[in-house]
Amino acid sequence: MRIAVCPGSFDPITNGHLDIIERACGLFDRVIVLVADNADKHCWFSTERRKALIERATAGMPQVTVDVCDGLLADYLKKCGGCAIVKGLRALSDFEYEFQMALANRKLCPEAETVFLTTCTEHMYISSSLVRQIGSFGGDISAFVPPAILADVQAGILETKERQQ
Ligand code: COA
């Protein structure tokens, strides 16, 4: 059983993330989408809400499970027996940060490889913060977010914006 972990903050999950998860399903027997926090980011959606949104967005993918992690990714990989970390690369600007993470994770968990998948061109400019920014001004985010969660993402963005004001 070859298990891959797709980690990210998913604040919220976008079509770009979903594309990477779908393609990881073609390479591995089981894919765990792992909601983890980047210490430098303050998330708009709670961990549980991010997990629930991913569960709905991946409902048609039987190989996928969703989990949360509040510790080190390397420790999670050891615990679940994962052999790979799968990440999407959108542009050269992603590379330096991802390269550093990959090296650190290899040191902490040599059993797992980091596998980079190139984002397809139609998703390369999408990011969760772009979705939040457009949504917070009432813009149309339907091209960036899976249809099954569109209404909830839009509502969540507006709720957070109201709380912040
Ligand atoms: N398509 C579109 N957008 C994508 C994408 C894709 N395929 N892949 C990533 N992105 C975007 C995300 O939306 C996000 O956008 P934002 O900056 O606007 O929020 C950005 O790229 C980065 O996203 P992500 O890959 O989720 O990275 P992150 O920095 O938010 O999270 C963790 C990184 C959570 C995986 C990392 O911090 C981690 O592993 N934390 C756990 C603790 C740990 O082990 N730390 C040490 C690691 S060495």
- Residue 15 near ligand 1, beta carbon < 6 Å: no
Residue 19, pLDDT > 90, answer: yes
| Spacing, Cα 37 to ligand 1 middle (Å) | 8
DSSP the chain: --EEEEEE--TT--HHHHHHHHHHHTT-SEEEEEEE--TT---SS-HHHHHHHHHHHTTT-TTEEEEEESS-HHHHHHHHT--EEEEEE-SHHHHHHHHHHHHHHHHH-TT-EEEEEEPPGGGTT--HHHHHHHHHTT---TTTS-GGGHHHHHHHHHHHHHHH-
Q: d(Cα 93, Cα 61) in Å, to the nearest integer?
A: 30
What's the CATH class of domain 3-124?
alpha beta
Q: Is 42 a catalytic residue?
A: no
- pTM over cut 0.85: yes
* Whole-number pLDDT of residue 66: 98
Which ligand 1 atom lies nearest to the CA of residue 38? Answer: 37
For residue range 57-91, what is the model confidence (pLDDT) as tens digits?
A: 999 999 999 999 999 999 999 999 999 999 999 98
Q: Is the CB of 14 under 6 A from ligand 1?
A: yes
- Say which residue the tokens 């397809």 belong to: 120
The pLDDT, as a whole number, for residue 157 is 97
pLDDT digits (tens, 9 = 90+) for 39-48: 888 999 999 9
Is there an atom of ligand 1 within 6 Å of 128 CB?
A: yes
Structural domain spans, the chain: 3-124
Split at pLDDT 50, 70, 90, the class of 37 is confident
Look at ligand 1, atom 30, and give the residue with the nearest C-alpha: 9
Q: Is 90 a catalytic residue?
A: yes
Is 78 catalytic? The answer is no
The pLDDT tens digits of the residues spanning 106-148 come to 999 999 999 999 998 998 899 999 999 999 999 999 999 999 9
pLDDT at 116: 97
Write down the pLDDT at residue 92: 83
